Amino acid sequence: MATSSETSDQNVKSRRPAESAFKQQRLPAWQPILTAGTVLPTFFVIGIAFIPVGIGLLYFSDEVKEHVIDYTNCLKDGENITCADYIKRTSMDQCICRLSFNLTEDFKNDVYFYYGLSNYYQNHRRYVKSRDDSQLLGRLSLTPSSDCEPFAYAIEDGKSKPVAPCGAIANSLFNDTLTVRSQEVSKDVPVLRTGIAWASDKEIKFRNPEGDLRVAFANFTKPVNWRLNVWELDLNDTENNGFQNEDLIVWMRTAALPTFRKLYRRVDHTKEGFMNGLLKGPYVLTVEYNYPVTDFDGTKSFIISTTSLLGGKNPFLGVAYVVVGTLCLLLGIVLLVIHVKCSKSTTEMINVNPRTPYS
């Protein structure tokens, strides 16, 4: 009986951790001792470093000029009805509206056009994954990814066909047409449709199938909400057509926040009258209004902007640096005063013994 008991005890696995320095917690450790001599310099260094950086960021942000036009409720040409209501009543018939505006200062150097949307949640989990990356790489299949449902197939001529590009992101592609006309020179502002997407996206994530696009997409149909097929997006530029269309590529890079803007066009500064940017004066924005946003309480805007060394206008980072730097300086000063008034002298610290009263 004793032998059996000893064998049973040996078979029981021990809960003792393995005999290693890590599992037995014998590794060397370092714990900082927070004293006035280490904490106060840290606060002052952070404050002195952050405030100039924040001021620099604010300076570069203020150098960027912007003009924002909200055209959500613009009126249809010649009628007393908003384009938002018109396209809702007429099942998405095209509506044209015009908005006059005035630039009060010159927009020098490179000028960019953006469109902005609000209350639009492109970061929704199901929306973000509703795409077929293999298809967007030009590997066409008559069976799109299940992630595209319910935008994987559509009816065309009474037959169900796979959609290209499939998915909710592509189906909701922004399709307003925005044109700016200078009344000073009586010309439309010349723009470029290329150079607006990330080079890495166009070169790596989006590729067209080989051969003629019309033939390659013959067995596919367009997304339900599109007016054109994917191979008709830019017939004037074969390198900006199909899945290589930069408007599509820009839209497919989903936004992280519900209020966002996306690059729409670059002003062509090689044309006469616009070589130095946009001059101050009267302009007219013409909108081919196709994209509905009022149903989800969204808004649409058109933005004219320049850029700085650090990109577009964004004062948040500069303000954050200044606020953090200021708080660190204030805390450093307060703690320094407390340390000078309340700390013990070196002699007092040396003479401390068990009978020294606490104070």
Residue 11: band (very low, low, confident or very high) from pLDDT cuts 50, 70, 90: low
At residue 340, the pLDDT reads 85
Average pLDDT, the chain: 90
pLDDT at 220: 95
Percent of the chain with pLDDT over 90: 73
> Contact, 16 vs 24, CB < 8 A?
no
pLDDT for the residue 311: 84
Kindly report, residue by residue over 66-88, the tens digit of the pLDDT: 999 999 999 999 899 999 999 99
pLDDT for 24 beyond 90: no
Mean pLDDT value across residues 33-58? 91
Please report which confidence band the pLDDT of residue 125 belongs to, taking 50, 70 and 90 as the band edges. very high
pLDDT beyond 70 at 7: no
CA 88 vs. chain centroid, Å, equals 29
Q: Nearest Cα to 222, choosing from 298, 142, 307, 156?
A: 156
Q: What is residue 18's predicted lDDT score, i.e. its pLDDT? A: 86
- Tell me the domain boundaries of the chain: 35-64+313-339, 65-306
pLDDT tens string 129-159:
999 999 999 999 999 999 999 999 999 989 9
> Tokens 């936004």 belong to which residue?
255
pLDDT attached to residue 29: 84
| pLDDT at site 34 | 80
For 327-354, what is each residue's pLDDT tens digit? Answer: 999 999 999 998 888 776 656 655 666 7
pLDDT score at 22: 86
CA distance linking residue 39 with residue 42, whole number of Å: 5
- Non-local (6+) Cβ contacts of 175 within 8 A are 226, 227, 290, 291
Q: What is the pLDDT of residues 167-217, one digit of tens each?
A: 999 999 999 999 999 998 889 999 999 999 999 999 999 999 999 999 999
> In which residue are the tokens 């209020």 written?
259
CB 231 within 8 Å of CB 148: no
Check residue 56 and give its pLDDT.
94
Residue 19 has pLDDT above 90, yes or no: no
